[in-house]
Amino acid sequence: MDLRGKVAVVTGGAHRVGKAIALALADAGCHVVVHYHTSGEAAATVGEIRSRGVRAVAVAANLAEPAGREMVFDAARRELGGVDVLVNSAASFQRGDVLSMSQAEWQQVLDINLSAPFFCAQLAARAMQARGEGAIVNMVDLSAFRPWAHYPAHSVSKAGLRMLTEVLAKALAPAIRVNAIAAGPVIKPPDWDEARWQTVGSHSLLKRTGSGYDVARAALYLLQSDYVTGTTLVVDGGRSIA
């Protein structure tokens, strides 16, 4: 897919990995809908995107709610003319204990990490089919392959999103391609110190952490490569096999 002039929706696009992808899409010539929930960085991100000579709009919405998802895609249609690309980057990263996690806590994570990407893909695919083509990228992480005992709902949701990627790829072919990225340590959590972050990087084959730019380049590859669908591209410096 030639991304020049296309319209991309990036959920969770105001900060961290989502922002890196949104900026990379802008550099490739995409107009961008930046979805966010509560991030205070949305206006600045939209400004950075517009400085690249493309259009951008920020939409605040709770993707766990049907009305919130509709708001995002209504804005894409109204402000930018439709949807050609969807990047499902918004996610909840909640720690939990399997013996004490409540149903509400469990459901909250799955609503954002699994149900929202499905229903966003559904809305996007309807618009893409009318335009004749489209591409979707879902953001998973290494918990899609290896269980994280202290993040049970998160692990299950990301494993489910990986399978959903394959289901959507099969169901929406040939007009719409669907892929996923499993990112390793690329952006330091705000509550971590530098020493802890460097230790994590030392456990990968490349002996370092990555960056949002590494993930953004992977996203561009998947979106632009017309013969790739149904795959999960691991971007982790070899950590998963170290």
Active-site residue set: 151, 158
Quick check: 223 and 1 in contact, CB under 8 A?
yes
Beta-carbon contacts of 142 under 8 Å, excluding residues fewer than 6 positions away, are 182, 183, 184, 234, 236, 239, 240
Q: Cα–Cα–Cα angle for 79, 80, 81, nearest 5°?
A: 105
> Is the peptide bond preceding residue 147 cis, with omega within 30 degrees of 0?
no
Q: Which amino acid is at 225?
A: S
Burial 36-46 (b: 16+ CB within 10 A, else e): bbebebbeebb
